[in-house]
Amino acid sequence: MSRTILLNKRPVGRPELSDFKFVTEEKPTITTGEVLLRTSYVSVDPYLRGRMSDAKSYAAPFELNKPMSSGIIAEVMESNNSNFKVGDYVSGMLEWKEFQKSTGEGLKVVDTTAVGQSVYLGALGMTGMTAYLGLTEIGKPKKGETIIISGAAGAVGSIVGQIGKILGCRVVGIAGTDEKVNMLKTEFGFDDAINYNTTDNMAEAIATACPDGVDIYFDNVGGAISDAVLFNINKFSRMIICGAIAVYNNTEPAKGVSVQPFLVKNSALMQGFILGNYAAKFPEATQQLATWFKEGKIKATETVVEGFDSIPQAFIGLFDGKNKGKMVVKI
Ligand code: NDP
């Protein structure tokens, strides 16, 4: 038998465990050209919150009573497809199922001999590419510039900061606990970091941490933190709007400062980033990240939650900052 997690209902506000439903089905049997996969690691990501709603977005909504899906690493258990052999590990967008079959479309065999499987869901996967391409394509960092990153201790943010240091920038992170702030400075080499939960005046704290102002803002959270950054941007600064987890669960449109005067006054650029728009650059990004990873210049910190039953809770935990680095579930 094999368990599957379905979208039971669309969340209103913060996602809850009752938004998900577990069902048990027969393990699938494969036919010509197919492979049988056993899930080994599941990526849980803030953007899945958007797909649980039916509002128009860049990715299609999940359907009610249909399986949830995300980036997954799975082991090939049976194969009728010459591209995959039994024992291979593959990565792909797959359903939240213990076992599933696939034609192999969209699956990539990953080399797990030197690199842990889950790293392909984080630093060497979607989140690593988001960090690299968002920063280089929109941020265009130059040596000596100051980069500030919100959600800095998370999957994307922690990689952005490390790349910023490799490229010779001053890097400042914003995160939700003192433990994360310390991790950014001691493990990831950030020049400074701010705990937004214990700081009353974020605009002032950013000014102190960025004495030469902000040249690049890599925004993972939106909301009040991003408003505070605006007061510190430099002329010709670039803002990469990658995510807005602080407002994903809002039931009313968020209110904030008007961005236009800040942009005009500073000739600044603010651009939304969607990884899928940069597919042509994926090989370059993957290769560069793999090289830095091999050279020890990028660390892939993870929070690993165990068990298929824990997937919904691990996902919800993202909204409570339960993760340091990439949140993954080991099955
Ligand atoms: P993270 O690993 O950063 O996990 C989410 C983190 O967000 C938490 O750990 C928490 O850290 C922080 N957070 C949660 N709620 C709030 C809040 N109300 N205010 C401020 N911070 C909060 O996730 P990812 O790295 O996977 O994703 C980061 C962002 O990038 C997300 O917004 C995601 O949607 C987006 N994204 C966009 C992509 C694209 O193509 N546009 C691709 C991938 C990700 P803390 O303890 O510091 O609060």
Tell whether 67 and 167 lie within a shared domain.
no
Tell whether 112 and 133 lie within a shared domain.
no
pTM beyond 0.75, yes or no: yes
Strands 233-241 vs 269-272: parallel, antiparallel or unpaired = parallel
Tell whether 103 and 115 lie within a shared domain.
yes
Tell whether 259 and 322 lie within a shared domain.
no
Tell whether 266 and 135 lie within a shared domain.
yes
Tell whether 135 and 98 lie within a shared domain.
no
Would 202 be classed as within a structural domain?
Answer: yes
Q: Ligand 1 test: best mutation among 51, 160, 220, 322, most atoms within 8 Å of CB?
A: 220
User: Which residue has the least CA distance to atom 41 on ligand 1?
Assistant: 274
Would 286 be classed as within a structural domain?
Answer: no
Report the CATH number at residue 91. 3.90.180.10
Q: Chain-centre distance of CA 123, in angstroms?
A: 9
The per-residue pLDDT for 114 is 87
Range of the domain at 221: 126-276
Would 296 be classed as within a structural domain?
Answer: no
The per-residue pLDDT for 38 is 98
The per-residue pLDDT for 120 is 97
Tell whether 72 and 135 lie within a shared domain.
no
DSSP state of 64: T
- Tokens encoding 19: 């938004």
Whether 250 and 256 have beta carbons less than 8 Å apart is answered as no
What is the Cα–Cα distance from 292 to 72, expressed in whole angstroms?
23
Q: How many domains does the chain have?
A: 2
**Ligand 1 centroid, distance to 161 Cα (angstroms):** 14
Total Cβ atoms within 10 A of residue 304? 15
User: Which residue has the least CA distance to atom 16 on ligand 1?
Assistant: 246
Would 284 be classed as within a structural domain?
Answer: no
Report the CATH number at residue 195. 3.40.50.720
The atom number, within ligand 1, closest to the CA of 243 reads 32
Would 96 be classed as within a structural domain?
Answer: yes
For 63-77, write each residue's pLDDT tens digit.
Answer: 999 999 999 999 999
What is the Cα–Cα distance from 101 to 30, expressed in whole angstroms?
6
The per-residue pLDDT for 2 is 97
Whether 91 and 63 have beta carbons less than 8 Å apart is answered as no
Tell whether 117 and 158 lie within a shared domain.
no
Q: Verify whether ligand 1 is closer than 6 Å to residue 319 (CB atom).
A: yes
Tell whether 134 and 99 lie within a shared domain.
no
Q: Verify whether ligand 1 is closer than 6 Å to residue 245 (CB atom).
A: yes
Would 294 be classed as within a structural domain?
Answer: no
What is the overall mean pLDDT for the chain?
97
Instruction: Please give the average per-residue pLDDT across 38-44, as a whole number.
Output: 98
Would 17 be classed as within a structural domain?
Answer: yes
For 208-259, write each residue's pLDDT tens digit.
Answer: 999 999 999 999 999 999 999 999 999 999 999 999 999 999 999 888 999 9
What is the Cα–Cα distance from 126 to 108, expressed in whole angstroms?
13
Tell whether 269 and 195 lie within a shared domain.
yes
Q: How confident is the model at residue 189 (pLDDT cuts 50, 70, 90)?
A: very high
**Ligand 1 centroid, distance to 325 Cα (angstroms):** 10
**Ligand 1 centroid, distance to 145 Cα (angstroms):** 24
Tell whether 28 and 112 lie within a shared domain.
yes
Tell whether 69 and 146 lie within a shared domain.
no
The per-residue pLDDT for 227 is 98
- In the numeric block, the tokens 């009728």 are attached to 80
DSSP state of 62: P
